Amino acid sequence: MGLTGGMGAGKSTVSKLLADHGAVIVDSDRIAREVVEPGTPGLASLVDAFGPEILHDDGNLDRAALAAKAFGSDDARKQLNSITHPLIGKRTAELIESAPADAIVVQDIPLLVEGGLAPLFNLVIVVWVDAEERVRRLMQYREIAEDDARARIAAQATDDQRRAVADVWLDNSGPVGSLDDEVGRLWDERLVPFERNVREGNVAAPARVVVPANPEWPRQAQRLIARLWVLAGEKAAAIHHVGPTALGDDAIDVIDLTITVADNSSSEALSQSLAAGGFPRADGVRRHGSADPGRPARLQMS
């Protein structure tokens, strides 16, 4: 699962709530600090690249000094990224691999949307608060100047960009504690059964009730298609949204998709990739379905 939200939206609050329920939290900001602590190869590489001036007297990284050097040019920024990104990726993979087999792993990534990472996750949770309220909170609780707060928010993804990738949209505009019950229901009714379905190879069955056409169906389908392309890679030639939810008719609330296999020899490998990525095999030849009880989907390979 991926967790994100704009600066000041309360993502850390939701992360803590999920951890309290039992989630394994992989915090990208914490990892980014960890890999450049004193004595690490990461910090040594940064000093080699940017000089000892990026260190405080106590040997810790002076982030402001590093930023002044690393963001002065495209080449310097690329050099910084070439040092830190592999270390962050390696540590992230280690934490995920060390989690129990039945763990619900939540990756806390502030710039998930900006980095185009949403398709890599089988569920994306976005924590939202109106921009003006976020400015107020940043000024009050983090003592950030108003102009600085507005500039930082403006540099991040827009609400529309976040909404486009959000499977779960948590409105954190209320008072402290107002999300507790909602996160609890999310955990019990969606995250826990989702993990169990993936692990046991079960498809989440849609309710057999016709509902009014939902204008969100096309956007939901596009999110699924983006994930399927990540899972399928070159094993798929095309992926399409089909059926009543694609036509905008009243229908059973299930997204129907077709996956055209690149060649017959790829079909079994594709099936295995789909099952491992949250789309277990269903009844029938070359049929799969979503393990997510919050977004039922049916896939037909052809």
Q: Output b/e per residue, 46-71; b: 16+ Cβ within 10 A.
A: bbebbeeebbeeeeebeeebbeebbe
**Is 8 labelled a binding residue?**
yes
Give the containing element (helix H, strand E) for 284.
none
**Is 11 labelled a binding residue?**
yes
**Is 10 labelled a binding residue?**
yes
Query: Is 211 in contact with 258 (CB distance < 8 Å)?
Result: no
**Is 99 labelled a binding residue?**
no
- CA distances (Å), origin 293, targets 149, 176, 194, 197: 38, 28, 6, 9
Query: Is 24 in contact with 104 (CB distance < 8 Å)?
Result: yes
Pairing of strands 210-211, 251-252: antiparallel
Amino acid of residue 270: L
**Is 9 labelled a binding residue?**
yes
In the numeric block, the tokens 């960890």 are attached to 34
User: Distance between CA atoms of 244 and 267, rounded to whole angstroms?
Assistant: 26
- Please give the sequence-ordered ranges of beta strands (E in DSSP) within 91-191, or none if there are none: 105-108, 124-128, 168-171
CA neighbor of 257 nearest in space, from 211, 295, 294: 295
Binding residues: 8-13
Binding residues for ATP: 8-13
